[in-house]
Amino acid sequence: MESNIWFSGAIILVSYYFLVSSEAKVRDRRIVPAVLVFGDSIFDPGNNNNMNTTAKSNFPPYGIDFPNHKSTGRFSNGKIPGDLMASKLGVKDYLPAYLNSDLEPEQLLTGVSFASGGTGYDPITSALVSVLSMDDQIDLFKDYVTKLYSIANEDRVDDIISTSLFIACAGNDDISNTYYTTPIRILQYDIPQYVDFMITNAAEFIEKLLVLGAKKIGFIGLPPMGCLPWARTLAGGLSRNCDQNRNNAAKLYNSKMPGVLRNIQKKYQGSNIIFLQIYDIMINMIQNPTNYGFEETRRGCCGTGMFEVTGFCNNQTEFICEDTTKFMFWDSYHPTERGYQIIMDDIFNTYFQDLFNN
Q: 92 lies in a domain?
A: yes
Catalytic, 93? Answer: no
Catalytic, 41? Answer: yes
From the candidates 71, 116, 334, 346, which is the catalytic residue? Answer: 334
Domain limits for position 177? 32-278
Asked whether residue 10 carries a pLDDT value surpassing 70, the answer given is no
Query: For the chain, what is the domain count?
Result: 1
214-235 confidence digits (pLDDT tens)? 999 999 999 999 999 999 999 9
In this prediction, residue 12 carries a pLDDT of: 39
Q: 213 lies in a domain?
A: yes
293-348 confidence digits (pLDDT tens)? 999 999 999 999 999 999 999 988 777 899 999 999 999 999 999 999 999 999 99
Say which residue, 208 or 23, is predicted with more confidence: 208
User: What CA–CA distance (Å, rounded) separates 357 from 58?
Assistant: 38
In this prediction, residue 11 carries a pLDDT of: 39
Q: 106 lies in a domain?
A: yes
Average pLDDT of span 4-22: 39
User: What CA–CA distance (Å, rounded) separates 191 from 207?
Assistant: 24
Q: 53 lies in a domain?
A: yes
In this prediction, residue 29 carries a pLDDT of: 63
In this prediction, residue 15 carries a pLDDT of: 37
In this prediction, residue 1 carries a pLDDT of: 44
- Of 29-33, 131-135, 199-203, 208-212, the one with minimum mean pLDDT is 29-33
Q: 298 lies in a domain?
A: no
In this prediction, residue 99 carries a pLDDT of: 97
User: What CA–CA distance (Å, rounded) separates 82 from 1?
Assistant: 58
Q: 133 lies in a domain?
A: yes
Catalytic, 150? Answer: no
Asked whether residue 274 carries a pLDDT value surpassing 60, the answer given is yes
Distance (Å) of CA 42 to CA 17, 97, 116? 42, 13, 9
Q: Which residues of 11-29 are buried (b: 16+ CB within 10 A; e: fewer)?
A: eeeeeeeeeeeeeeeeeee
From the candidates 83, 122, 243, 331, which is the catalytic residue? Answer: 331
By DSSP bridging, strand 35-39 and strand 327-329 are: unpaired
Q: 238 lies in a domain?
A: yes
CATH number of the structural domain spanning residue 228: 3.40.50
Alpha carbon 57 to its chain centroid, in Å, reads 16
User: What CA–CA distance (Å, rounded) separates 71 from 64?
Assistant: 7
158-216 confidence digits (pLDDT tens)? 999 999 999 999 999 999 999 998 899 999 999 999 999 999 999 999 999 999 999 99
From the candidates 40, 41, 113, 271, which is the catalytic residue? Answer: 41
Q: 90 lies in a domain?
A: yes
Neighbours of 182 (CB within 10 A): 13
In this prediction, residue 28 carries a pLDDT of: 52
In this prediction, residue 278 carries a pLDDT of: 98
Alpha carbon 104 to its chain centroid, in Å, reads 22
